[in-house]
Structure formats: structure tokens, C-alpha cells
Amino acid sequence: MKSKHVLLIDDNEIDNYISKIMIKRKNITEKISVAASAIEALEYLETLLNKPEEFPDVIFLDINMPQMDGFGFLEEYLKFPEHVTANVSVYMLTSSSDPNDIERATQNPMVKKYFSKPLTESVLNELK
């Protein structure tokens, strides 16, 4: 998989650091952006609405974050114009092993796949 822009949405700095290292090591993208919260990510994505060529094509999304969780992000993200989000792959990357979270994520049509942290080479190899 080759991507032009990956967005990491996670409040855990260490997980973001590990994810960035793995993505860089695999050389799968031109750009990596990081948002420390779902709200920060939504605000960032709003700034790109008039620049769809800069919109991320891959989003790794954590579930458990303060203020707004990953599911709250998805609800708000659904409101973005489809012409901007149509080519974006959203992957849950989380430490949650709650069966309800797993089911809820896998039932969401926006989520391509559910992965457990940390981001690994084998996870990156699974991306399409």
C-alpha cells in the first residue's frame, strides 16, 4: 500500500511515536499528520475541505480519548462531504479489547478494519 497522507488520531504520545516510526520504516506515505484528540482532528480536517488533494487517504483512529471518543469522531466525520471522504480508509487502532467496541467498529461502514495497538509491520502489510 502506498499512501499520500496518513493521519494518526490518538491522545497517547508514545503510541503516536511508535506508529510514526513504523510508517516511516515501511515508507508507505509521503506525509504523516498527528492529532492528539478527535476534536483536534476534526478541526484539522475542516481546514483541508477546500484542498481535497491534501486530505488524508488513511486515518488510524483510537477509540478511547477524552472529550470525544473515536465513535464520536466517526459521527462528525460522516458530516463531511462525500467527495472529500470517498477515498479515505479509516482503521481503528486501539488498545480496547471490549467486545462491544470491536463489534461497534466492525459494524461501522466507515471502518475498514479493527487493529490492536501498537501499530506493527504486519498490520501495515494488511492494509489495502
Q: Check which CATH number belongs to the domain holding 114 and give it.
A: 3.40.50.2300
27-to-22, 32, 74 alpha-carbon distances in Å:
9, 11, 27
Q: What is the pTM of this model?
A: 0.95
Distance between CA atoms of residues 81 and 87, nearest Å? 12
Q: What is the pLDDT of residues 52-71, one digit of tens each?
A: 889 999 999 999 999 999 99
Distance between CA atoms of residues 100 and 118, nearest Å? 20
Give me the tens of pLDDT residue by residue for the chain, a chain 128 residues long: 688 999 999 999 999 999 999 999 999 999 999 999 999 999 999 999 999 889 999 999 999 999 999 999 999 999 999 988 989 999 999 998 899 999 999 999 999 999 999 999 999 998 86
Domain count of the fold of the chain: 1
For 119, the domain range is 3-126
